[in-house]
Chain A
Amino acid sequence: MISLMHSLTIATALFIIGLFGVMIRRNLFFLLLSLMIMMNGAILALVAAGYHWQQFDGQIISILAISAAISEACIGLSLLLHIYYRRKTVNIDLLSEMKG
């Protein structure tokens, strides 16, 4: 029996690595990759909680999370293609017209 603490630690580490990638990278493509890593960590936490309580609910909510991750990647990539065809770059520093 793997303890819940260890699996939650792994999930947190994956989430934190993804968040760090979102913060340091300036390439829209790598931002999407980092978001996928973050979603992966969240899914891992859901399944780990389901395993600890010996229930199927965690896995079922993970289906919802996986489909959310896929829709996010799909829309993000189509936005990336759109931005690339309009501006010929995916550098988000060059794209920040609102100086946010």
Chain B
Amino acid sequence: MISIFYIASIIAILASFKTISSTTPLSALLYLIVSFFASAAILFSLNAYFSTVLQILLFIGATAILFIAVISFLDLNAIIFRQQEKLHLTPKIWLGPLILIFVLFVMLLFSIVNTDYTLMTVHKVNIDSYSIKDILLGPYILVIELAGLLILGALVVAYHFAHFIIHNTATPHARSGMLLVAEKSGQKKEKKEP
């Protein structure tokens, strides 16, 4: 388990660094997926099986696929602008942020290393006697409902923007097709809405 943790953390850090430094969106996305898988392995080695499943299902299965779908909508030449990015990735540009980030990293590492972990008493709860389900549907039910409402709000906002785009940019032919589909599927909804 310990070797899994360290190997996976090295892979996660390398893949994250490749993500922010690559110029092609698709390769950056593939490195991001590798980073997510590696952090899922880290969570697995921390005995958090439920979070591992959530990470793989929601981060890789939902979010990464969403990013791929958005890339396929866009014109790749418009979002790469390679020359400008090359210009921005020169040392002259990123040296200032690198110094600031390094100072922040050293400060955070200093505070992490200097913490006296022996003062933090670990209450040895017999974790086998109850499962995560008992907590999830017991005292923490409001947190779960809040998470659901958060995703619902995001869904409403995304639908609002996508609706605007479909009605403003689709070609007449495609638009009439979309409207036909919308009329067929949305007949019951329209009666309720006025």
Contact = CB atoms under 8 A, between A and B. Distances in A.
Contacts of B28: 30, 33
B180 interface: no
Contact of A12 (B70, B109, B132): B109
Given A14-B12, A40-B59, A27 B19 contact: no
A69 B51 CA distance: 14
Contacts of B165: 81-82, 85
Nearest to A48: B46
A29 to B, nearest CB: 6
A10 B13 contact: yes
A40 B147 contact: no
A24 B21 CA distance: 9
A51 B47 contact: yes
B63 A36 contact: yes
Given A8-B112, A33-B32, A63-B143, A81 B70 contact: yes
Interface in B40-91: 42-43, 45-48, 50-51, 54-55, 58-59, 62-63, 66-67, 70-71, 73-74, 78-79, 81, 84-85, 88-89
B88 A25 contact: yes
Contact of B13 (A14, A32, A52): A14
B29 A27 contact: no
B161 A78 contact: yes
Given A70-B154, A81-B165, A43 B78 contact: no
A55 B47 CA distance: 11
B58 A70 contact: yes
Interface residues of A, number: 72
A78 B169 CA distance: 15
Given A26-B84, A85-B169, A54 B51 contact: no
B119 interface: no
A66 B54 contact: yes
Interface in B129-181: 132, 135-136, 140, 143-144, 146-148, 150-151, 153-155, 157-158, 160-162, 164-165, 168-169
B184 interface: no
Contact of B39 (A32, A40, A82): A40
Given A62-B54, A77-B66, 16 more contacts: A5-B117, A10-B42, A13-B105, A17-B16, A40-B39, A51-B47, A64-B147, A66-B59, A77-B70, A78-B160, A78-B161, A78-B162, A82-B165, A88-B78, A89-B78, A90-B78
Top 5 nearest A-B pairs (CB, nearest first) are: A21-B20, A71-B154, A67-B147, A23-B97, A78-B161
Interface of A: 2-10, 12-14, 16-21, 23-27, 29-30, 32-34, 36-37, 40, 43-44, 47-48, 50-64, 66-75, 77-82, 84-85, 88-91
